[in-house]
Amino acid sequence: MSAAPINPDWDSVPWWRALTEQVVLLQRCTACQTYRWPPREICNSCFSFAADWVWDLGRGSVVSWVVTERPFAPGPAVPYTTVLVRLDAQEDLMLPGTLRGDPTALRPGAIVVPDFDPHPTDPALTAIDGDPLPATLLSWRLL
């Protein structure tokens, strides 16, 4: 089964580039210091357009998860587990990702740390203005 396509945009390019280097970068509003997820041009809290990118451990806690046992669309081989993780960096910052490891060990509030999966997409397919962007996906593993 082929992988789902990734469609990066200008706002998310730093995110994707950092993941290829196995780094979690979060976009942060420089006016009010609120993190923005997904990356976007304007802050939801103060409507500022000013932002920078901040390194983060990416550590968080599991909010919810689902184990996919039948493929509904192109993606990873089944079964796989998708978790929703609340980052320690900010209460309302929740990122999805695939879990590496045994899903029977999952519990609400379980601590997870980021892991990184190179995406099999041809970098030319995720290019921004002709600049190839190799893709890596954020996944999680239990601490």
What's the gap between Cα 72 and its chain centre? 21
Query: Residue 48, interface with Zn ion (CB under 5 A)?
Result: yes
Smallest distance, Å, CB 26 to Zn ion?
13
Q: Output the smallest distance, CB 45 to Zn ion, in A.
A: 4
How far apart CA 45 and CA 31 sit, in angstroms, is 10
* Interface stretch with Zn ion, choices 1-9, 17-25, 28-36, 123-131 (CB under 5 A): 28-36
DSSP readout, 22-52?
T-EEEEEETTT--EESS--SS-TTT----EE
Binding span for Zn ion by CB under 5 A among 17-25, 36-44, 92-100, 135-143:
36-44
Q: Which stretch binds Zn ion (CB under 5 A): 9-17, 27-35, 58-66, 74-82?
A: 27-35
Distance set, CA 22 to CA 57, 84, 98, 109, 138 (Å): 11, 19, 15, 24, 9
Residue 133 binds to Zn ion (criterion: CB under 5 A): no
Q: Does 90 bind Zn ion (CB under 5 A)?
A: no
Least separation, in Å, of the C-beta of 2 and Zn ion?
A: 39
Q: At which residue do the structure tokens 């192109």 appear?
A: 74
* Count of chain residues binding Zn ion (CB under 5 A): 8
d(C-alpha 139, C-alpha 142), whole Å: 10
Residues lying near Zn ion in the complex (CB under 5 A)? 29, 31-32, 34, 43, 45-46, 48
